[in-house]
Structure 1
Amino acid sequence: MTKHIGERVAKPLRRGDGPNKFRLSAMDTATTTYDGDDGWAKRPPAVLECPRCGGDILQHHSRDDIDCPHCVAEFSYQKFPELELNHLTCPVCRSEMAHGQRHPEAFDLVEWATCNGCRYHWEFKHSYS
């Protein structure tokens, strides 16, 4: 009986033959995540610390220039790894997100972020080669 119920639940999620039998993405398979994105282009808004005045700089999109609203400091989006990341802001509920790195020896960037409020999750998409 239990096996039959399990099969009925899993059937719409099945993809077919092969080792990856389900079509869920990594974000979908996490039991605590409800919504998510991956890729640097979809990175949540970032709040950076201005190295000149210490104020907060909001960078809405990953390719936006970084301009401090409190002083005259301006940075290209390419300088993001050199600036201090205070936090990422959840694009769904605007809460501060927990964030971190999985491969600090390989990347100078934040690689993941999760909102503890609405469970939105973002992943930096990269190759492991």
Structure 2
Amino acid sequence: MAPLRRGDGPNKFRLSSVDTATTTYEGDTGWAKRPPATVACGQCGSEIFQHSARDDLDCPRCVAEYGPEEFGDLELLHLTCPVCRSRMAQGQRHPEQFDIPEWATCERCRYHWEFEHSYDG
């Protein structure tokens, strides 16, 4: 049997299957590369969109302003896939240690993001 290789034709070979739920095609790691997020304003409940994890969170409806370090204090409504703009499935692996999402996967295009950290539990 020949070794696995990526082809140059229209059916580009990937070491993953489209039908496998845990398979991802591309992704990023680290908080700085976190997908765009939508959170609820702590004062009026309106949706605040944060494109980058380092952006301030300014409510478009009231006067509330939050720094990027206050992200974990606000209710996360959803993360948005940076590839196809779909809402992502997201969650935490260590909810007792972190108040932020630790991973997110797009069910549509299989993009995946991980919050990279060392965990000594």
Task: Describe how 1:22-101 pairs up with structure 2 within 5 A.
Answer: 32-101=23-92
Q: Distance in 2 between matches of 1:71 and 1:116?
A: 33
Indicate the structure with greater helix content: 1
Consecutive unaligned residues of structure 2, counting only runs of 5 or more, are: 7-14, 16-20
**Match among 4, 15, 19 for residue 9 of structure 1:** 4
TM-score (norm 2): 0.82
Report runs of 4+ in structure 1 exceeding 3 Å deviation.
Answer: none
Map of 2:116 onto structure 1 = 125
What amino acid sits opposite 1:68 in the alignment? Answer: C
Deviations 1:27-52 (A, max 9, x none): xxx85211100000000000000111
Map of 2:96 onto structure 1 = 105
Bigger Cα Rg:
1
Identity %: 65
1:115 and 2:110 are equivalent in the alignment:
no
Number of residue equivalences: 107
Deviations 1:67-99 (A, max 9, x none): 001111000111001100000000001000010
Consecutive unaligned residues of structure 1, counting only runs of 5 or more, are: 13-23, 25-29
Helix, strand or coil at the partner of 1:37 = strand
What amino acid sits opposite 2:44 in the alignment? Answer: C
Q: Distance in 1 between matches of 2:22 and 2:46?
A: 37
TM-score (norm 1): 0.77
